Amino acid sequence: MKIRSLCFSLTLILLFAGIHAATLTVKNNCPNTIWPATLTGGGAAQLSNTGFELASQASSSLDVPAPWTGRIWARTQCSSDSSGRFTCATADCGSGQVACNGAGGAPPASLAEFTLASNGGQDFFDVSLVDGFNLPVSITPQGGSGSTCTTTSCAANVNAVCPSELALKGFDGSIIGCKSACVVFNQPQYCCTGEYNSPATCKPTNYSMIFKNQCPQAYSYAYDDQSSTFSCTGGPNYLITFCP
């Protein structure tokens, strides 16, 4: 009886505190194995699972406490060397392990970004190519409401049209990622820094438009807000699909 009373009391505490957990389901629709990873922002504790292997057509779910701000991406062509160090050809987080343990993915990486509210408030989510592109990805709300509570995606293969100066090539010479102009050239007009650090001064470039033309719903540069941010209320769950 004491254990049941304690559990009931904890449940009431969580309800009155307005704590809500969202379930983020990650699905691999790509033909090859990928290694998704998570990064919690804002100095908050990392999720219990910060990196995992996901075979083709498999899925895995993450319970995320809200409020939560973070991102999910997928690493490709990963393996362990003779010493056991784990590395990936794209979006590697440098931890040397399958788990990223609070480290972000190295560009280029297609990102699924979230700011989840507590107690059924307004969530925000987007697909971002600001750090470049390595895999197509989509975010689909499961439940919730709002005029932009809809699927957003970058379903195109940006690697197929990536300029040579932005291309990340694999061992066989094929393009496995498309870097952002900021990463390659490190100039303020591409990075939205210095005198370009505002929506009024940082405008689309020929390079960012390559990403935007392929994936109109995704962020192509830092201030690409108008058609790239989506939101839901009501505490929905979310499906993140790689190669939708």
Domains of the chain, first to last: 18-156+217-242 (2.60.110.10)
- Cα(96)–Cα(81) distance, integer angstroms: 10
What confidence score (pLDDT) does residue 19 get? 54
DSSP of 67-130: SEEEEEEEEEEEEE-TT--EEEEES--SSSSSS-TTPPPPSS--EEEEEEPSTT--EEEEEE-T
What confidence score (pLDDT) does residue 225 get? 81
- Cα(105)–Cα(110) distance, integer angstroms: 10
Hey, what are 138's tokens?
Answer: 């989509």
Average pLDDT in the chain? 92
| Interval 30-48: pLDDT, tens | 999 999 999 999 999 999 9
pLDDT classification of 217: cutoffs 50, 70, 90:
very high
Predicted TM-score of the model (pTM): 0.91
pLDDT exceeds cutoff 50 at 16: no
* Average pLDDT estimate for 139-157: 97
Q: Nearest-CA neighbor of 224 among 144, 154, 151?
A: 154
| Interval 72-114: pLDDT, tens | 999 999 999 999 999 999 999 999 999 999 999 999 999 999 9
Name residues whose C-beta falls within 8 Å of residue 63's C-beta, 6 or more positions apart in sequence: 21, 22, 23
Task: Please tell me the least confidently modeled range out of 2-11, 24-33, 43-52, 128-137.
Answer: 2-11
What confidence score (pLDDT) does residue 227 get? 79
pLDDT exceeds cutoff 80 at 136: yes
pLDDT classification of 9: cutoffs 50, 70, 90:
very low
* Average pLDDT estimate for 197-226: 95
| Interval 158-189: pLDDT, tens | 999 999 999 999 999 999 999 999 999 999 99
Three-state SS string over 163-187 comes to CCCCEEECCCCCEEEECCHHHHHCC
Q: Nearest-CA neighbor of 103 among 117, 86, 115, 116?
A: 86
Selected residue with higher pLDDT from 108 and 15: 108
Hey, what are 158's tokens?
Answer: 């940006």
pLDDT exceeds cutoff 80 at 229: yes
Segment (H or E) for 8: helix 2-17
pLDDT classification of 20: cutoffs 50, 70, 90:
low
